[in-house]
Amino acid sequence: MTGLFVLVAAGGCTRSQAGQAGSPATPDATGSASSPPSSGSAAPTVAVPARPQELKLDALEPCSLFTKPQLTELKVDRTRVRTSQSEHYMGNHECVLMIEKQSPRYEYGVMAVTNEGIAPWLTGKRNVEAKLTSVQGFAAATYWFRGAQGNNAADCAVSVDVAEGQQLVVDTDNDGAHSFTLEELCQRAELAAGLAVQTLRTLR
């Protein structure tokens, strides 16, 4: 996976201005930018709407959030479980969804973060540009590395406010040839995040 998901300090994707609320790129997603994590206690520059319900991520295996039909919709060929080794999200569970049998080949990263909510992405203090949007009725932050645009974007992430002090992060990595634009990466991340939240509701 690329910087956004591994470092979880600067990443995300969507068209918008950092720290400002905006209309969703799609009915169920968010977009915006942030930068590397500075302080998890920093207040967001926009008000985060109340969530429709609490969907706790404790003891959740992220790969369980995708049904076979959903994996088919995303064209995923293989999944892989791993544990985050990043400084801020050490030990949180991750799932890698790989598209390998067609071109371009790329990946989704899905992480169940149980030690921080989405607010830090919206403070404007991380090395990303972020935008407040929504996924399946839940507030979300779509973000990408500051300055990324067009086909030079490495990835885009969507962080969904599913529970107090918790977030479901879905990241889409570009392939080596940068076949996708930033907008396309964000759209894919938002789609996958929407599917994951749909399943999460049935598990909680």
Residue 74 maps to a domain: yes
**Residue of 13, 137, 36, 130 lying closest to 88 (CA atoms):** 36
Residue 177 maps to a domain: yes
Residue 43 maps to a domain: no
Residue 112 maps to a domain: yes
- Which residues neighbour 136 within 8 Å (Cβ) at sequence distance 6 or greater? 28, 160, 194, 197, 198, 201
Residue 169 maps to a domain: yes
- Which residues neighbour 50 within 8 Å (Cβ) at sequence distance 6 or greater? none
Residue 47 maps to a domain: no
Residue 181 maps to a domain: yes
- Each as own residue / partner, the long-range contacts of residues 71-74 (CB below 8 Å, 24 or more positions apart, any chain) are 71/97, 73/195, 74/99, 74/108, 74/191, 74/192, 74/195
Structural domain including 115 reads 3-35+52-203
193: three-class secondary structure by DSSP: helix
pLDDT at 139 over 50: yes
pTM attached to this predicted model: 0.81
Task: Specify the pLDDT at position 36.
Answer: 34
**Structural domains in the chain (count):** 1
The CB-side HSE value for 148 (13 A sphere, CA atoms) comes to 37
List, for residues 7-60, the tens digit of each pLDDT value. 444 333 333 334 433 333 333 333 333 333 333 446 777 789 999 999 999 999
Residue 41 maps to a domain: no
